[in-house]
Amino acid sequence: MKSALLAALLCCITLASFAQKRYRYIGLMPGGAIDIIDPYYPIARYDINVVPFVFETPINTVTDIKCASIGIYRYGDSPRLSAVGGQLVFPRYFKAKQRYSEKSKGWYLGPFVSGTRDFYRNLYTASPGLEFGAIFEDKRSFALSLNIQAGGTYEFRLNRKNAMVPFVAINLGFGFWVKQKLYVRGGSV
């Protein structure tokens, strides 16, 4: 029930954002995370996000909303898809745009929350934290992003006691800014 409500809310936000003429960032953001303290994940094992789709759209002149998918492939002794989930970030840019419809670029800091279902360790996770990063663009529509995330992962374990684990993640993204018009009755809005 909660996941259906969250999916409906994200769908409404996305559809509302498409009703206006502005830039949207669509891209890929592969990255990896390291749990700082976790006895069940030795340092010789590492994870890569193999489903790194990202969508970002402005909320106002300084704040955007960014949605990202998570599909973790675990490398190590038994390579496999180990976790799936999603992430929601609210990047607040240090320099405001002149107009609402411009591309977001430059340095930002923002809160995020992510949730995953980890099949390898048989648990669910909720991860609040902060993301610090930047978006760099060329003169056309291509953009490159780099961010660092730090936070804590609350692990809802199905067969053991729940735990809180601090983590750090680094993501490098690339994608395109797309300016879209909404066509209504033969005209554009």
Instruction: List Cβ neighbours of 50 (8 Å cut-off, separation of 6 or more).
Output: 30, 71, 72, 73, 81
What pLDDT tens digit does each residue of the chain (189 aa) get?
556 556 655 554 555 545 556 678 888 877 766 555 555 555 545 677 888 888 888 888 899 999 999 988 877 666 778 889 999 999 999 998 888 778 888 999 999 999 999 887 788 999 999 999 999 888 777 888 888 988 988 989 877 888 888 888 888 888 887 876 544 444 444
**Predicted local distance difference test score (pLDDT) of residue 8:** 56
Three-class DSSP category at 110: strand
Which tokens sit at 28? Answer: 């890929």
Domain ranges of the chain: 2-175
Note the pLDDT of residue 141.
79
Backbone angles phi, psi at 110, to 5 degrees: -160, 155
Calculate the CA 181 to chain-centre distance: 25
What's domain 2-175's architecture? Beta Barrel (2.40)
Q: Which DSSP category does 63 fall into?
A: B
The residues, ordered by sequence, that sit 6+ positions from 74 with a Cβ below 8 Å of its Cβ are: 45, 46, 47, 80, 81, 82, 83, 120
Q: How far apart are CA 181 and CA 18, in angstroms?
A: 8
